[in-house]
Amino acid sequence: MTATTQTLEVQQLIDAGVHFGCRVSRWNPRMRPYIHGRRNQIHIIDLRETLKGILRAQNLLYHLAAEGSTILWVGTKRQVKGVITETGQRTGMPTCIERWIGGTLTNFSVIRTRLKRLEELEKIQESGGDGQFSKKVLSSLRREQRKINRNLGGIREMTSMPGAMVVVDPAREANAVKEARKMGLVVIGILDTDCDPSDVDIVIPGNDDALKSVRLMVGELARSVEEGCANHRDRMASMGAAEKHEGGDEARVGDEPRPTRGNRMPEGGRGRGPRGRGARGEEGGGGEEG
């Protein structure tokens, strides 16, 4: 089953400015296979490679989402924070838009303890227990809550290791990419000509600075995740309906009427029906007459 039925056109990429790379002086030589040429000291990205990368990423994300895996979206640039946040809300997946906290993946158990602390602080505030603390302690607790929520609020629903990570500008998110590769996660990178593609499993070359460009590429990936999640929900619903149907059949089999005393068959000639009694009576009478 394909990830999506709608295909992205090259003209859409051109209109969004995806083909504009970095200045020639800043390029990474390992990006040579993804560069079409140069114009006014700016590299032009080969959009055929961009389409290939998007299609590969779409197929992978679709199947991962259909299997119920989690997709982590990472982008801490000021101009892409809003896009990543919208994508996380759209797909229901975790995001990271602030500074990457070291050990988010490699030391995930400690991160979960910090999130539990965030839940404790929220319960204290909701229960109205602020009155038992002084103003100084209360200010410290609120400051701690804001800090944890700012750094880890995007991944508070991530209870297990994600199946893949989508990164905007892997050169900027080098620590996140290193942790993902150490944990064996698939890394999908939207990267410009100044990045190193060898650290990314699926390369999507494109302009990672322009808001319109990032929104177009991330939106295409998010659409595949949405379709995969919808497929997963439909499959789980059908499995639940099948289990419920099987449970109903078992209940109906167990509810079959049992034979009552009136319709019970005589066993071993000891039945209490008229025939049994008449036979014994006639035999007994014949013996008395004899």
> What is the CATH classification number for the domain harbouring 71?
3.40.50.10490
Same domain, 75 and 202: yes
**Letter for the amino acid at 129?**
G
- Domain-located, residue 224: yes
**Which range among 23-37, 60-74, 115-129, 217-231 shows the weakest confidence by mean pLDDT?**
115-129
Same domain, 71 and 195: yes
Provide the pLDDT confidence category of residue 242 given band limits of 50, 70 and 90: confident
Average pLDDT over residues 183-202: 94
Per-residue CA distances from 206 to 85, 106, 112, 150, 209 (Å): 20, 29, 34, 29, 9
Cβ neighbours around 148 below 10 Å, total: 18
For position 142, what pLDDT does the model report?
A: 87
Same domain, 131 and 152: yes
Same domain, 93 and 122: no
- Domain-located, residue 51: yes
CA distance 34 to 284: 110
Residue that finishes a domain, picked among 159, 176, 197: 159
Q: Are strands 35-39 and 42-45 parallel, antiparallel or unpaired?
A: antiparallel
Name which residue leads in pLDDT, 284 or 82: 82
For position 129, what pLDDT does the model report?
A: 61
- Domain-located, residue 199: yes
For position 244, what pLDDT does the model report?
A: 75
Q: Residue 189's beta-bridge partner residues? A: 167, 203
Provide the pLDDT confidence category of residue 269 given band limits of 50, 70 and 90: very low
The answer to pTM > 0.85 is: no
> Per the structure block, which two tokens stand in for 9?
């056109």
Q: pLDDT over 90 for what percent of the chain?
A: 63
Provide the pLDDT confidence category of residue 239 given band limits of 50, 70 and 90: confident
CB 181 within 8 A of CB 187: yes
For position 265, what pLDDT does the model report?
A: 46
What is the tens place of the pLDDT at every residue in 20-54?
Answer: 999 999 999 999 999 999 998 899 999 999 999 99
Same domain, 57 and 76: yes
What is the tens place of the pLDDT at every residue in 245-268?
Answer: 776 655 555 555 555 444 444 444
For position 107, what pLDDT does the model report?
A: 92
Same domain, 30 and 136: no
Name which residue leads in pLDDT, 127 or 92: 92
Token pair 């006014």 in the structure block, residue = 40
Backbone torsions φ then ψ of 96, nearest 5 degrees = -140, 110
For position 282, what pLDDT does the model report?
A: 42
Average pLDDT over residues 160-187: 94
Cβ neighbours around 161 below 10 Å, total: 14
Average pLDDT over residues 184-189: 95
For position 266, what pLDDT does the model report?
A: 47
Residue that finishes a domain, picked among 134, 159, 184: 159
Q: What mean pLDDT, rounded, does the chain reach?
A: 84
- Domain-located, residue 126: yes
Query: What is the CATH number for 119?
Result: 1.10.287
Residue that finishes a domain, picked among 238, 260, 285: 238
- Domain-located, residue 267: no
* Overall number of domains in the chain: 2
Nearest to 171 by CA among 39, 8, 27, 65: 27
Same domain, 229 and 188: yes
Q: Which domain holds residue 197?
A: 10-105+161-238
- Domain-located, residue 2: no
Provide the pLDDT confidence category of residue 280 given band limits of 50, 70 and 90: very low
What is the tens place of the pLDDT at every residue in 119-170?
Answer: 988 888 877 665 677 788 888 888 999 999 999 999 998 988 999 999 999 9
